[in-house]
Amino acid sequence: MMFHWKIGTAALLSAALAGGTAAFVMATPLFAQEAVKLELWSRQDPSGPLRAGNVVKAAERLNKELEAEGSPKRVEVVVRESPAKGFDDDALQLLKVFGIGEGPDMFIAAHEWICAFQEDGFALKLDDYIAKYPQHFGTIFPSLWKAAKCPDGTYAIPQDAEARMFFYNKKLLREAGYDDAFIDSMPERTLSGDLTMDELLEIAKQVVDKTNAQYGVLHRPNKGPDYIMVFNAYGNDFADPETGNLLLERDKLAAAFGWFERGVKAGVIPANNTAMEFDALRKEFYTGNAAFWMYGIWDLGSVAFPTYGLPQEEKTFFEDWGWIAGPAAEKGGSPVSLTHPIVYVIAADTKEPELAVRLLGHASAADLNTDHAVTTTHLGIKPEQLEDPRYAEAWPLARATDLLKITKFLPNNAQFGELNGIIYAGIQGVESGRLSAQEAADFVIDEASASLKDVIVK
Amino acid sequence: MATIADELAIERRGHRASAARRRTNFVIFLGPAIVLTILFFVLPVIIDIAVSFTDLGRSLRITEFTTEQYQKVFRTDRRLTQVIGLTFIYVFGTLAIFNVTFGLILAITTTAIQNVSGSFFRGVWLLPRMSPSVLYILLWLWAVSPTEAGLVNQVLMQAFGLRAPLDLLTTAPVALIIISNGFIGASMGMIIFTAAIRGIPEHLFHAAAVDGAGTFAKIRFITLPALRWPISFVTIYQTLSLLVSFEYILLLTKGGPFYDTTVYALYVYRRAFESGQYGYGAALALFLIVIGIVVALIGWRFFDMERLLQRPRIEVH
């Protein structure tokens, strides 16, 4: 009896267990959804809130895709915002964060910094993934991929592009005595190499002398890319084409610093430009107290339209405002413009590289990228975007695309960020009258040779 | 015999007990101070020395131990001479003009006038020290703003008919950092000197008056001799704090224009935190530590601080 009872009980128990397990197994797709948290490091940046926002939106699309595939995984994006003032500060901060092992899964960076991350083993090599997902990455402009490469492969996904230029105030130029034909031909003359860097200073001087405007040319008051355009105009490319090492040419550096020196001596560039506040500089230009403002196209959508009420309608805008590329150093020389793509990078140690790639692939969708492009006047990354009516309506984008023909990139060298800091200090030295142009060139070469590795000096 | 032995044993136990109590007291009363000193003063120096012999860079990684940083300090860094020269001007200037001299003048004048107005002026001069550094420097930035809206320019242009606004941050940055730091530094000297002046027995002044001494003679022969030690203390203490502090300079001029107001401590900061050269920053900081110790020892010897810290031989009531 006992024995039978035992067998009976055992049978019952096994049946119950088996049933339970079966029920559990069947219910698994419902209950065993596995949440994958992917952390995205993003700088708080009013000129590009959708860089992170699009990744958050992309998670919805990726999750639908995962559901359709029957995968139990669901992605959740956690955005970690950093308060750094610029991409350079942000990159230095993030390198430290990675250094102590607290790095995110993905991050947003300025393209010239990616090799610094790659060199220290923090960035994931993406070539195979990019080839694997042509639906996401296949149509991104080939030129932009250049900005995503380090010597041994691709380490980033282009997020946007832009164009940098000299904005100018046509009203002030008219007041200074230039006629409309001259003013309206400036962009063309610049692109053909007829208008030079020194003529720009001359025009600015006329404005300062003959109008109430106080300033001729203003530029950013911190380390960043735009002023590198001036160095490009005087033939500095900063990278040795053969080795990719940093290249400094004393005469060309001195020539570029000379432009800033002449600008300050002529009373056109304020000696304390580097000590002024960003917002104060913008205010001086957009409220009509400066002839030229060396900056980038996104400033229209991010600041000029919303904050200073510049006309958003194309025709009205060009009545009083305009822009030119960076002029050539000498007549007949090459004009310059600079594009400074922002990129998405995936951390080398992320647990879910595949999901991160797919997530960023969805974030790079034409419609999402266009949202970013048209709201902040950045250039898109895919040809499909050009067909979007919203993109076509955002005339600054179409107009700025002209400059892409002559645009250059900053070199993707791990040390360029540091070199740029030294160049900026040189500009500050020249403008404040502490260094002559030649001394500034010597200063940059001394400092770079002392603190950076493998610098080629000519 | 037995009793004597017992007594000795008891006495020894007593000694042991009191020795044990002394050790316990030592741990209880001095322990926390010693632990804190080691944690916040000794350990950082040791870490700094260790880091200075590495190649710790922007991603906080050490790949090798090296003396490269010291080679940089002595061979390749061309900014250092200028930075050290400026630091000397800054520390000596602030100390000589404000922290000691102006502090002394404030103390003597505010104790010479009526008590109420004296306290009022001392209170006014304490304000910069009491206000948060960021707020204090914001006020300065407004005062020396290179536009017509700056306080200095408003005064000069409206009251003195100056045509174009001055840009003091570009034309006189070193003077600005000395003045802005001095306004704060003067108050410490002022307080200490005032206390010392108040401590001088009143009858000495009366006696001097009877002897026909005037105001300056009283200051020269009574007040100043009594202030010898406070002056030594303020000089040494403020030298050390001026050497290592840079927050006001960083906020006011960011060390610029160019490197014009980059004092040594700020230079260390710029190297380490603005360019990510932590190893090099550590090597530079080590010299600051050494200089600090040397200055303190020189001061100790030169101003006879040991006597100042000695217990008074007799108690005076």
Interface predicted TM-score of the whole assembly (ipTM), two decimals: 0.78
Q: Write the pLDDT tens digit of every residue in A368-382.
A: 999 999 988 899 899
Give A-chain residues touching B80 at CB under 8 angstroms.
none
Q: Are A385 and A395 in contact (CB under 8 A)?
A: no
Q: Write the pLDDT tens digit of every residue in B26-66.
A: 899 999 999 999 999 999 999 999 999 999 988 888 889 99
Residues 15-34 of B with CB under 8 A from A: none
- Provide the pLDDT for residue B296: 82
Name the minimum distance, in Å, from the CA of A208 to any CA of chain B.
14
Q: Write the pLDDT tens digit of every residue in B210-224.
A: 999 888 898 899 999
Lowest-confidence region among A115-124, A399-408, B171-180, B281-290? A399-408
Interface contact flag, B258 A122, Cβ < 8 Å: no
Q: Is A383 helix (H, G, I), strand (E, B) or coil?
A: helix
- Provide the pLDDT for residue B297: 86
- Provide the pLDDT for residue A1: 44
Give B-chain residues touching A95 at CB under 8 angstroms.
58-60, 276
Residue B306 in this model has a pLDDT that exceeds 80 = no
- Provide the pLDDT for residue A9: 62
Q: Would an 8 Å CB–CB cutoff place B61 in contact with chain A?
A: yes
Interface contact flag, A429 B257, Cβ < 8 Å: yes
Q: Are A375 and A301 in contact (CB under 8 A)?
A: yes
Lowest-confidence region among A12-26, A273-287, A290-304, B14-28? A12-26
- Provide the pLDDT for residue A134: 95
- Provide the pLDDT for residue B112: 87
Q: Which residues of A touch B (CB under 8 A)?
A: 92, 95-96, 98-100, 116, 120, 122, 271-272, 274-275, 418, 421, 425, 428-429, 431-435, 446-447, 449-451
Q: Write the pLDDT tens digit of every residue in A186-211.
A: 999 999 999 999 999 999 999 999 99
Name the minimum distance, in Å, from the CA of A24 to any CA of chain B.
47
Q: Which two tokens stand for residue B275?
A: 């360019």
Region at B134 (left for phi over 0; alpha for psi -120 to 50; beta for the rest): alpha
Residue A455 in this model has a pLDDT that exceeds 90 = yes
Q: Write the pLDDT tens digit of every residue in B203-257.
A: 999 999 899 988 889 889 999 998 988 898 898 889 999 999 899 999 999 897 8
- Provide the pLDDT for residue A277: 86
Mean local confidence (pLDDT), A261-277:
93
Q: Is A289 helix (H, G, I), strand (E, B) or coil?
A: coil
Interface contact flag, A435 B258, Cβ < 8 Å: yes
Q: Are A373 and A263 in contact (CB under 8 A)?
A: no
Mean local confidence (pLDDT), B95-118:
92
Interface contact flag, B59 A120, Cβ < 8 Å: yes
- Provide the pLDDT for residue A244: 83
Give A-chain residues touching B276 at CB under 8 angstroms.
92, 95-96, 418
Q: Are A385 and A373 in contact (CB under 8 A)?
A: yes
Q: Are A412 and A115 in contact (CB under 8 A)?
A: yes
Q: Which residue has the tokens 């250039």?
A: A379
- Provide the pLDDT for residue A206: 96
Q: Which two tokens stand for residue B98?
A: 């404000």
Percent of chain B with pLDDT over 70: 95
Residue A6 in this model has a pLDDT that exceeds 70 = no
CB atoms within 10 A of CB A49: 15
Cα dihedral across residues A378, A383, A385, A388: positive or negative: positive
- Provide the pLDDT for residue A2: 47
Burial class of residue B85 (count of CB atoms within 10 Å of its CB; 0-12, 13-18, 19+): exposed
Name the minimum distance, in Å, from the CA of B184 to any CA of chain A.
24
- What is the distance between the alpha carbons of residues A428 and A227, in angstroms, rounded to a whole number? 12
Q: Is A181 helix (H, G, I), strand (E, B) or coil?
A: helix
- Provide the pLDDT for residue A23: 54
Name the minimum distance, in Å, from the CA of B104 to any CA of chain A.
35
Q: Write the pLDDT tens digit of every residue in A24-36.
A: 555 555 556 889 9
Residue A19 in this model has a pLDDT that exceeds 70 = no
- What is the distance between the alpha carbons of residues A447 and B270, in angstroms, rounded to a whole number? 13
Q: What is the average pLDDT score of chain B?
A: 89
Interface contact flag, B58 A95, Cβ < 8 Å: yes
Percent of chain B with pLDDT over 90: 55
- Provide the pLDDT for residue B161: 87
Query: A10: pLDDT confidence band, cut at 50, 70 and 90?
Result: low
Query: A18: pLDDT confidence band, cut at 50, 70 and 90?
Result: low
Q: Write the pLDDT tens digit of every residue in A145-180.
A: 989 999 889 999 999 998 999 999 999 999 999 999
Query: B274: pLDDT confidence band, cut at 50, 70 and 90?
Result: confident
Interface contact flag, A95 B146, Cβ < 8 Å: no
Mean local confidence (pLDDT), A341-350:
96
Name the minimum distance, in Å, from the CA of B44 to any CA of chain A.
19
Q: Are A134 and A429 in contact (CB under 8 A)?
A: no
- What is the distance between the alpha carbons of residues A435 and A429, in angstroms, rounded to a whole number? 5
What's the whole-model pTM score? 0.82
